[in-house]
Amino acid sequence: MALLALPAAAQVKSGSEFLSPGMARQQADETRNPGFFWVEQGEGLFSARPPQGQACIVCHAEPRQSLRGAATRYPQVDAASGKLLNLEGRIEQCRVERQTQPAFGHESAELLAMTAYIASLSRGLPMDVATDGAAKPFYEAGKAFFERRQGQLNLSCQQCHDGLVGQKLRGDTISHGAGTGYPAYRLEWNSVGSLHRRLRACSLGVRATQFDFGSPEYLALELYLAGRAKDLPVETPAIRR
């Protein structure tokens, strides 16, 4: 198939390059990008003292320096458990184990806000996840998922996000699926949502199984996408249609 023969990772571009000029301006303009409300909320939560336990900022002083670049290295394998964690997973781990508070929960306003805030501290820095060593099996699983045809439409992620890049689909322009702007503000959601929420939309689009937020399948996929996006800048909070 001609579609599958196209070169991949070499020229992966950010989803922002496929935005209309008006939306690209809105994304870049902090006074008009609603995603910054979530960033601001996350910044507030980061300093807020929970009923018991310590505020995040007690252990992570000067987050603008100490957590700058953190988002570029996620997903990553957690050394202690051997599990693959994305940024949300790492935040929840700190929340539960170190802050001794109940987990925020997937797609909760708090987790989205905290993730958007911490990712925003890496804006402009190049993505740099490890795909070798302990990460390799996860990366390979993500790659296999990306290339596998699925759903009633029998399409792979790759057929759209490599083969049909630049083509229109229901008013969208298909990008490489880099995912470097998430959590992102999507007009269709009227809100900020996670990368996994976007992945669920793509799975539904081909009428395939929608995996859960934080599922091993989507985590592996997220690692593969992040590996493809190597050196692209973090753009959270991006704006998408």
Q: Which residues bind other proteins (CB under 8 A)?
A: 30-34, 36-37, 40-41, 109, 187, 190-191
- Answer yes or no: 202 catalytic: yes
Q: Site residues (CB under 6 A) for ligand HEC?
A: 15, 46, 54, 56, 58-60, 67, 70, 90-91, 94-95, 98-99, 114, 118, 146, 155, 157, 159-161, 169, 172, 174-175, 177-179, 181, 198-199, 202-203, 205-206, 221, 225, 240
Shortest distance, position 31 Cβ to other proteins, whole Å: 4
Question: What is the C-alpha to C-alpha distance for residues 73 and 202, in angstroms, rounded to an integer?
Answer: 24
Shortest distance, position 30 Cβ to ligand HEC, whole Å: 19
Question: What is the C-alpha to C-alpha distance for residues 241 and 233, in angstroms, rounded to an integer?
Answer: 20
DSSP 3-state assignment of 181?
coil
CB 194 within 8 A of CB 213: yes
One of 56, 59, 160, 202 is an active-site residue; which one? 202
Shortest distance, position 110 Cβ to ligand HEC, whole Å: 9
Question: What is the C-alpha to C-alpha distance for residues 74 and 131, in angstroms, rounded to an integer?
Answer: 11
29: region left, alpha or beta (phi > 0 left; psi from -120 to 50 alpha): beta
Of ligand HEC, other proteins, none, which one does residue 31 interact with (CB within 5 to 8 Å by kind)? Answer: other proteins
Of other proteins, ligand HEC, none, which one does residue 41 interact with (CB within 5 to 8 Å by kind)? Answer: other proteins
Shortest distance, position 50 Cβ to other proteins, whole Å: 19
113: closest CA among 193, 1, 2? Answer: 193
Kind and range of the H or E run holding 37: helix 35-47
Of other proteins, ligand HEC, none, which one does residue 94 interact with (CB within 5 to 8 Å by kind)? Answer: ligand HEC
Kind and range of the H or E run holding 175: none
Return the number of the residue (59 or 187) whose C-beta is nearest other proteins: 187
Which position has the token pair 């322009």? 173
Of other proteins, ligand HEC, none, which one does residue 114 interact with (CB within 5 to 8 Å by kind)? Answer: ligand HEC
Kind and range of the H or E run holding 169: strand 168-169
- Known catalytic residues? 202
